[in-house]
Amino acid sequence: MPKITIDGADYHSEDLSEKGKSQLESLQFLEGQMKKIEQEIAIYQTAKIAYSKALRGEIERLGLKPVTD
């Protein structure tokens, strides 16, 4: 019997009503979508770091100095 944990208490998913099972399914779907988004964000952060390093390298290669106003 699969267990689910809500607010620190365990329940058997088979004991849920059809409405409860539908809500559980929706919750599990959303958790999967959130995990995908978190993985995408990690990819974007990695790319951001790579682009920043490449830009810094290009600035150094050109010998550019920071602007002082």
| Overall domain count for the chain | 1
Distance of CA 16 to the CA centre of its chain: 29
For residues 27, 29, 34 and 36, what is the CA-based torsion angle, rounded to 10 degrees?
160
Beta bridge partners of 10: 5
Residue-number span of the structural domain to which 45 is assigned: 35-60
Whether 50 is covered by a domain: the verdict is yes
23 lies in some domain: no
Contact 25, 18 (CB under 8 A): no
pTM of the full predicted structure? 0.74
Q: Is 3 in contact with 13 (CB distance < 8 Å)? A: yes
Whether 55 maps to a domain, the answer reads: yes
Q: Which residue in the block uniquely carries the two structure tokens 């004991």?
A: 15
30: which 2 tokens? 């959303």
Write out the chain's pLDDT in tens, 69 residues.
689 999 999 999 999 999 999 999 999 999 999 999 999 999 999 999 999 999 999 999 999 999 998
